[in-house]
Amino acid sequence: MTAGEVMPEGGLRLIRALQFGDSVFPIGGFSFSAGLETAIQQGVVTDTETLYAFTRTAVEQAALSDGIALIEAHRAAQADDFAELERIDRLVHARRLSGEPRMMSLRMGKKFNEIGAQILGAPLLERWRERIAAGATPGCYPVALGINFAVQGLPARDAFVVHQSGVAAMILGAALRLMRIDHVETQRMLYQLNADVDASYEAAAAAHLSDMAGFAPLTDILAAVHVKSTVRLFMS
- Is pLDDT above 60 for 179? yes
Higher pLDDT, 100 or 37: 37
Rounded to whole angstroms, the Cα distance separating 65 from 164 reads 11
Q: Structural domain of residue 206, as residue ranges?
A: 31-214
- CA 90 from chain centre, in angstroms, equals 16
Domain-located, residue 174: yes
The CATH number of the domain holding residue 142 is 1.10.4190.10
Q: What is the pLDDT of residue 78?
A: 97
Domain-located, residue 183: yes
Domain-located, residue 24: no
Rounded to whole angstroms, the Cα distance separating 20 from 32 reads 18
Domain-located, residue 80: yes
Domain-located, residue 126: yes
The sign of the torsion formed by the CA atoms of 11, 194, 108, 47 equals negative
Domain-located, residue 156: yes
- Is pLDDT above 50 for 127? yes
- Is pLDDT above 90 for 90? yes
Rounded to whole angstroms, the Cα distance separating 24 from 27 reads 8
Q: What is the pLDDT of residue 4?
A: 44
Domain-located, residue 64: yes
CA distances from 75 to 3, 87, 120, 214 (A): 10, 13, 19, 22
- pLDDT band of residue 225 (cuts 50, 70, 90) is low
What integer is the mean pLDDT of 116-128? Answer: 96
| pLDDT tens string 20-30 | 998 888 887 77
Number of domains in the chain: 1
Q: Where are the alpha helices (DSSP H) in 34-80?
A: 36-41, 48-63, 66-78
Q: What is the mean pLDDT of the chain?
A: 88
Q: What is the pLDDT of residue 124?
A: 97
Domain-located, residue 131: yes
Residue 208, Cβ neighbours under 10 Å: how many?
A: 8
CA distances from 109 to 65, 92, 126, 206, 235 (A): 16, 12, 13, 24, 16
Q: What is the pLDDT of residue 168?
A: 95
Counting beta carbons within 10 angstroms of the beta carbon of residue 190, is it exposed (0 to 12), middle (13 to 18) or buried (19 or more)? Answer: middle
